[in-house]
Chain A
Amino acid sequence: MHLLVCGGTGCRASASDAIVGKLQKELDEKNLQDEVQVVMTGCFGFCEKGPIVKVLPDNTFYVQVTPDNAKEIIEEHVIKGRKVEHLLYKDPTTKKEISDSKHMGFYKKQLRIALRNCGVINPENIDEAIARDAYSALAKVLGEMTPEQAIQEMIDSGLRGRGGGGFPTGLKWKIALSNKADQKYVVCNADEGDPGAFMDRSILEGDPHSVIEAMAINGYCIGATKGLVYIRAEYPLAIERLKTAIKQAREYGLLGKNILGTGFDFDIELRYGAGAFVCGEETALIHSMEGERGEPTFKPPFPAESGYLGKPTNVNNVETYANIPVIYLKGANWFNKIGTDKSKGTKVFALAGKINNVGLIEVPMGTTLREVIYEIGGGIKDGKKFKAVQTGGPSGGCLTEKHLDTPIDYDNLIASGSMMGSGGMIVMDEDDCMVSIARFYLEFTVEESCGKCSPCRIGNKRLHEQLDVICKGKGTKDDLEKLKNLSLVIKDTSLCGLGQTSPNPVLSTLDNFYHEYIEHVHDKKCRAGVCKDLMKYLIDNEHCVGCTACARVCPVGAIAGERKGPHTIDQTICIKCGACMEKCKFNAISVQ
């Protein structure tokens, strides 16, 4: 028998260490230490009801356990085999106790569709993939459906593009099918560029066959025989595994001529990108594949009419493709029951930032940010206070406390001033300065702007300069007005998605954290202590004993004072490195 005690940060904070100790002590006293092991585990994710103790092999799940309950658990459950009812989880709707964790709604918080095989199969072995249904959807579509029927199934499923825009996939395919040409192309967009996002890389590294299969289905539906994967060269492992997978699929005849004896031909080639953010935009991506500069062009014409080499081209993102085989196997009606009214299925998020369980998660659309951050992500690191969550990368915005209970889907995120984006989710706490965050994203877009249109090339540069002035404490209240106006102009007049969304981090922080901007320009203060130019190191005369340690460590000689007398910092010389504060043993130096 095993007693699993949650050792996640949240449960530890509520004494799970002491629970382990007590359980062990009780077992020792009753001489059961050889039969029952107490084990500390990682986070169960159910931090809200922690500390958690789970009993194996019967899967009993105790919540909100205190060290005092240890004796009861041992005497009742372990010795007498009776469950300790008052520690069981009560279902919030039925009010009934649930003893087996497998029946708890909480386990249904995450549902893995796109990630179904990641971490399950060996990605370099096609046999393992086939044993888990790979290429069965392709066989089903080729054998039983016409392209029109298959597209209708895709439309019925309600799947929307997972790259960020959220365009209905089935509709995209329908348009590509309706455009007649001697050659059409299917392109997989694997140019994942948002800072902090790595879902597409993980899918390609963990389950490349799902993408290959879906591209072949896509080819059959729109009448294309050639597929291209545009992938950034900085993903070497993903490239290697994809190449291996394509090779194995060819050997089995699942790519190439006359696939599964149906007369359908399809093959895939790779195209490498140099890692430019703008190449995630479909027209820029296509130009880059053609060997041209990675610059977007005006739409229309859409790639579905005139794309790669001027031929009708359908571009979908990696995660979109990873969903597709399951939709055909389980049916559109299975898929469209998951999620919200207008956003069906699940979304993969890369959780990053000041959160305990950094990682890759997949939740049904409609899950709230609170559930993602507190129940799956395990809450904020070091017990700090939540400030904001950034979604949608440089094109998205920051959401705050008041958005925590908003169900996540394409439309709700846009209504809240952010966007789904490709699925990066960066959590920020009280130590993050929102003005600096906006400046960070602008720095990124300034570097990544292709320079073709002036609003994006010049506008973002000016926006960044203005933010920099504010962070340096030289901004005025008028600057905030200018910031907003310039942002709106860039949004309205830029050529492609990059420029049209790049001011979003500024606008959303202005909206939600206006008080922080005001503090920067009016009080010349940065509450998070991030903007160095707004910080002041001060020596408290009462606590300073004149040991001279600070003066000796100061790299620029800004500290003066007599031995055994109070010291002072010359603010005009100080570079705010913080070395003096670290060195002071008497807590006489503070930062303001």
Chain B
Amino acid sequence: MVQVKSLADLQNLKASLQNKLELREKGEKADSLVQIKVAMATCGIASGAKKIMEYFMNELEKRSIGAVVTQTGCMGYCYAEPTVEVKLPNQEPVVFGYVDLKKVDEIIEKYIKNGELVNGIIPVNYETIDDNNK
């Protein structure tokens, strides 16, 4: 792996990684690539998030949908675990709670394929440090 040896190195690396992420988000495959994040902290895993993540990966492949499935930390909605964030190309991410295998099916068939939202969305109820410019 490349070593980061100076401030300039870090800035270049950051810029290239941001580009890479942006490409993943808005790049060439913008029409087809779906991003899915599964909350996999202790709370999520205890509620069965691992199974959900596997199922997503398998089913998306079976149904030939180009998607990136990654894990992430706790989103804070412990009452509604397992929680999953789905980001369709060029759209705001949506978080679904109480996800089970049946719900995964519904999310794939309705939301990912047709853009129809399904029951169980958790609305965003916080501000990020980027929104906050006091």
Question: Which residues in chain A, 185-222, are within 8 Å of chain B measured between CB atoms?
Answer: 198, 201-203, 205-207
Which of these, B2, B5, B79, B120, contacts A41 with CB under 8 Å?
B120
**Known contacts A326-B129, A337-B134; is-contact A127 B17 (Cβ 8 Å):** yes
**Known contacts A39-B121, A202-B73; is-contact A143 B129 (Cβ 8 Å):** no
CA gap between A41 and B98 in the complex, in Å: 11
Q: Say if the beta carbon of B9 comes within 8 Å of chain A.
A: yes
State whether B117 touches A37 (Cβ < 8 A).
Answer: yes
Q: Say if the beta carbon of B27 comes within 8 Å of chain A.
A: no
State whether A119 touches B37 (Cβ < 8 A).
Answer: yes
Complex contacts, B122 vs chain A, CB 8 Å? 41-43
State whether B123 touches A44 (Cβ < 8 A).
Answer: yes
State whether A260 touches B4 (Cβ < 8 A).
Answer: yes
CA gap between A338 and B131 in the complex, in Å: 13
**Known contacts A113-B129, A261-B6, A338-B134; is-contact A40 B119 (Cβ 8 Å):** yes
CA gap between A39 and B94 in the complex, in Å: 13
CA gap between A111 and B124 in the complex, in Å: 11
Question: Which residues in chain B, 1-19, are within 8 Å of chain A measured between CB atoms?
Answer: 1-7, 9-11, 13-14, 17-18
**Known contacts A37-B117, A119-B72; is-contact A359 B127 (Cβ 8 Å):** no
Complex contacts, A143 vs chain B, CB 8 Å? 7
**Known contacts A122-B70, A131-B17; is-contact A139 B10 (Cβ 8 Å):** yes
- Nearest CB in chain B: distance from A513 CB, A: 27
Q: How many pairs of A and B residues are in contact by the CB < 8 Å rule?
A: 183
Q: Say if the beta carbon of A562 comes within 8 Å of chain B.
A: no
- Nearest CB in chain B: distance from A362 CB, A: 7
State whether A41 touches B121 (Cβ < 8 A).
Answer: yes
For A123, the closest partner residue in chain B by CB is B73
**Known contacts A41-B123, A252-B4; is-contact A207 B77 (Cβ 8 Å):** no
For A235, the closest partner residue in chain B by CB is B42
Complex contacts, B125 vs chain A, CB 8 Å? 44-46, 106-107, 109-110, 376
- Nearest CB in chain B: distance from A551 CB, A: 42
State whether A111 touches B127 (Cβ < 8 A).
Answer: yes
**Known contacts A4-B117, A39-B121; is-contact A115 B76 (Cβ 8 Å):** yes
For A61, the closest partner residue in chain B by CB is B123
**Known contacts A41-B122, A42-B123; is-contact A361 B76 (Cβ 8 Å):** yes
Q: Say if the beta carbon of B75 comes within 8 Å of chain A.
A: yes
Q: Say if the beta carbon of B39 comes within 8 Å of chain A.
A: yes
Which of these, B17, B18, B73, contacts A206 with CB under 8 Å?
B73
For A40, the closest partner residue in chain B by CB is B119
CA gap between A261 and B126 in the complex, in Å: 38
Q: Say if the beta carbon of A120 comes within 8 Å of chain B.
A: yes
State the interface size on chain B (CB cutoff 8 A). 52
State whether B117 touches A42 (Cβ < 8 A).
Answer: no
Q: Say if the beta carbon of B60 comes within 8 Å of chain A.
A: no
- Nearest CB in chain B: distance from A372 CB, A: 12
- Convert A520-547 into 0s and 1s, putting 1 for each residue whose CB lies closer than 8 angstroms to a CB of B: 0000000000000000000000000000
State whether A237 touches B134 (Cβ < 8 A).
Answer: no
Question: Which residues in chain B, 47-100, are within 8 Å of chain A measured between CB atoms?
Answer: 70-80, 85, 97-98
State whether A107 touches B77 (Cβ < 8 A).
Answer: no
Question: Which residues in chain A, 5-58, are within 8 Å of chain B measured between CB atoms?
Answer: 6-7, 37, 39-46, 54, 56
Complex contacts, A357 vs chain B, CB 8 Å? 77, 79
Complex contacts, A2 vs chain B, CB 8 Å? 116-117
- Nearest CB in chain B: distance from A10 CB, A: 13
**Known contacts A119-B73, A131-B18, A252-B2; is-contact A359 B10 (Cβ 8 Å):** no
Most chain A beta carbons < 10 A, residue from B10, B17, B20, B128: B10
- Convert A350-369 into 0s and 1s, putting 1 for each residue whose CB lies closer than 8 angstroms to a CB of B: 00000011111110000000
State whether B119 touches A39 (Cβ < 8 A).
Answer: yes
For A20, the closest partner residue in chain B by CB is B119
Complex contacts, A338 vs chain B, CB 8 Å? 132, 134
Complex contacts, A202 vs chain B, CB 8 Å? 41, 43, 73-74, 76
Q: Say if the beta carbon of B30 comes within 8 Å of chain A.
A: no
State the interface size on chain A (CB cutoff 8 A). 73
Q: Say if the beta carbon of A117 comes within 8 Å of chain B.
A: yes
State whether B72 touches A42 (Cβ < 8 A).
Answer: no
Complex contacts, B123 vs chain A, CB 8 Å? 4, 6, 41-45, 54
CA gap between A483 and B79 in the complex, in Å: 37
- Nearest CB in chain B: distance from A559 CB, A: 40
Which of these, A37, A260, A360, contacts B9 with CB under 8 Å?
A260
Most chain B beta carbons < 10 A, residue from A39, A119, A122, A202: A119
Q: Say if the beta carbon of B108 comes within 8 Å of chain A.
A: no
Q: Say if the beta carbon of B104 comes within 8 Å of chain A.
A: no
**Known contacts A334-B134, A360-B78; is-contact A237 B129 (Cβ 8 Å):** no
State whether B129 touches A359 (Cβ < 8 A).
Answer: no
Q: Say if the beta carbon of A495 comes within 8 Å of chain B.
A: no
Q: Say if the beta carbon of A269 comes within 8 Å of chain B.
A: no
Complex contacts, A136 vs chain B, CB 8 Å? 10-11, 14
CA gap between A143 and B79 in the complex, in Å: 43
**Known contacts A111-B132, A118-B75, A136-B10; is-contact A39 B127 (Cβ 8 Å):** no
Complex contacts, B101 vs chain A, CB 8 Å? none
Q: Say if the beta carbon of A233 comes within 8 Å of chain B.
A: no
Q: List 10 A-B contacts (CB under 8 A).
A: A107-B127, A109-B125, A116-B129, A121-B73, A122-B71, A139-B11, A142-B7, A202-B43, A237-B42, A260-B5
Known: A119-B39, A130-B17, A260-B9. 5 other contacts (CB 8 A): A117-B73, A122-B37, A127-B17, A205-B74, A260-B4
Binding site for B on A (CB under 8 A): 2, 4, 6-7, 37, 39-46, 54, 56, 106-113, 115-125, 127-128, 130-131, 133, 135-136, 139, 142-143, 198, 201-203, 205-207, 235, 237-238, 251-254, 260-261, 326, 330, 334, 337-338, 356-362, 376
Please provide the 10 A-B residue pairs with the shortest distance between their CB atoms, ordered closest to farther: A206-B73, A119-B75, A110-B126, A253-B3, A360-B76, A41-B121, A131-B17, A42-B122, A202-B74, A359-B78
